[in-house]
Structure 1
Amino acid sequence: MPAAAALPRFPLRTAPGGPPGGVPACRAVASELLLHRLVRRELRLLAELSAWAPADDADRTRALTRHADLLGRLLLHHHAVERELLWPALVRAAPAALPPVQRWTAAVAGLDVRLRGLSTAARQWAVAASDRARDTFTLACLDLADAVDAQTAEEERDLLPLLAAHLSPAAWAEVTRAARCPLSRRERSLVLGLALEDASAADRARLLAGLPASTRLAWRLAGRRRHRAAVVRLRGAPPAR
């Protein structure tokens, strides 16, 4: 879970069908899979939605570019916690993990450049309100989505099995304690809602069970309603669940 403060400390399984390639379930792996799935889905949706958006509709532009900003900050934070906390803990436990961690570091440096490029494209669309600026934003979403697909597939193949095999629960707990998420409380609630969208009924129950009682109550009283409203503004339709 490198976005440790943005998401609950999830139970052992979150991905439908289990982890890829027979990777044993553990909290660290489950959280990685969850965030990967969320970001992959939302980037593809953002590209599709922006392609059809009127370039000069300020409200629509604002909704789409704010969502891009949220995804960018979430993923940059995720990478920072992986780089500074998670992978160093893995290498301490399993020195053989160093080569795939080094490959990850090189790949993610390029990915972070693309994330900042998407932010620049979003600002340019908001200012220019032109078809060209909108199309540049859409292409940046598609380029980033392709890069995220490739990077997360490699990470899930090469690093998650090592994470499942070697990172102890105590080391994982230390990572989650040290992580500090830059998202606001409302943004964290939206990310939770996005995470819950793809979850099965059993996995939704597990995810919510991982939250403090006060956070579960806040989600039921206001978070769920705000998430639905945000998704309707963004997609023009309510979330699937």
Structure 2
Amino acid sequence: MTTAEHVEPDIIGMRLAHRVMLRDLRRTAEVAQAISAGRVAATPRRTRALATYLELLAESVHHHHAAEDDILWPVIEKRAGGHIDLTELSDDHSVLDPKLARLREAARALATAPDSEDAAAALALQLAQLRDLLEEHIAEEERDVFPVILRYLSVGDWAEVEAQVRRNGRLSFELPRIADACTPEELATLKKTAGPVIVLMLAIVRRPYRRLERAIWA
């Protein structure tokens, strides 16, 4: 296939996944820091909701990087192995799970003892560290991996990758977060592409997700 004939995969889904991940890490880090500094009340309701949210967020981050390691990286190696070295990105992934485990523990500790200044400070630190790691990691991934995907993977390759990735995602958490991160034009495109079933699911899952958000940020 010549360059002129090559049709690029549409990687909007991966771009949105990164955007959503960073948005959540930044805003949860901000609220944790505000709790630690005493600017936001550490009520039992807020800290329990934050622990629930961070449990789901940690699960989502794990699913994303595991899908890259197990599904996307092998396809890239097959199509463009000589054009990119994924070692550093994989090494970043290897340190994520222990960090996610410590984040979960810190969130549960604060939910158990909302008045603990030490627990609030520990959670704020864990979130700040994870945010900083993933901001750097995602910037490198988008700089180095995205051009390779667009050049060497076919539309069919990418469709198969996305189909496999979606199988284990928690849509009740992912869908409303993605919808919130989209521009109106992106959301319209996603709804058109995904069809009426996804639109209906979004309408169903948005309300409980909004309740969880309000408990943390209201």
TM-score (structure 1 length as normaliser): 0.78
Aligned CA distance change for structure 1 residues 25 and 41 (closer, same or farther; 3 Å):
farther
Partner deviation per Cα, 1:128-163 (whole Å, 9 max, x = no partner): 431101110011111110001000000011111101
Which residue in the other structure is 2:193 paired with? 210
Distance 1:217 1:55, change over 3 A: closer
Q: Structure 1 residues 34, 56: closer, same or farther in 2, change over 3 A? A: closer
3-state secondary structure, aligned to 1:26: coil
Assess, with a 3 A threshold, how the Cα gap between structure 1 residues 62 and 108 changes in structure 2: closer, same or farther.
Answer: same
Q: Which of 110, 123, 126 matches 1:125?
A: 110
Q: 36, 52, 70: which one pairs with 2:56?
A: 70
Instruction: Give the total of aligned pairs.
Output: 206
Match of 1:80 in 2: 66
Deviation at 1:192, TM superposition (A): 1.5
In 2, are the aligned partners of 1:104 and 1:155 still within 8 Å (CA)? yes
Does residue 1:233 correspond to 2:215, yes or no?
Answer: yes
- d(CA) in 2 for partners of 1:126 and 1:227? 19
How far residue 25 of structure 1 moved from its aligned partner, in angstroms, is 6.4
Deviation for aligned residue 1:223? 2.9
State yes or no: 1:58 paired with 2:53.
no
What residue number does 2:18 align with?
36
Q: Give the alignment of 1:1-241 within 5 angstroms.
A: 26-27=9-10, 29-53=11-35, 57-99=43-85, 101-129=86-114, 130-179=116-165, 180-181=167-168, 183=170, 188-220=171-203, 222-236=204-218
Instruction: Give the CA RMSD over aligned residues.
Output: 2.1
Return the offset for 1:97. Answer: 4.1
Report the Cα offset of residue 56 of structure 1: 5.5
Kindly provide the amino acid, as one letter, of the partner of residue 63 in structure 1: A
CA separation in 1, counterparts of 2:192 and 2:101? 35
**Which structure is higher in helix share?**
2
**How far apart, CA to CA, are the structure 2 residues paired with 1:128 and 1:201?**
40
Identity of aligned residues (%): 30
User: Structure 1 residue 215: deviation in Å?
Assistant: 2.5
State the 1:190 CA deviation: 3.3
TM-score, normalising length: structure 2: 0.85
Decide which moves more: 62-71 or 118-127. Answer: 118-127
Secondary structure at the aligned position of 1:181 is classed as: coil
Q: Secondary structure at the match of 1:145?
A: helix
Deviations 1:2-26 (A, max 9, x none): xxxxxxxxxxxxxxxxxxxxxx963
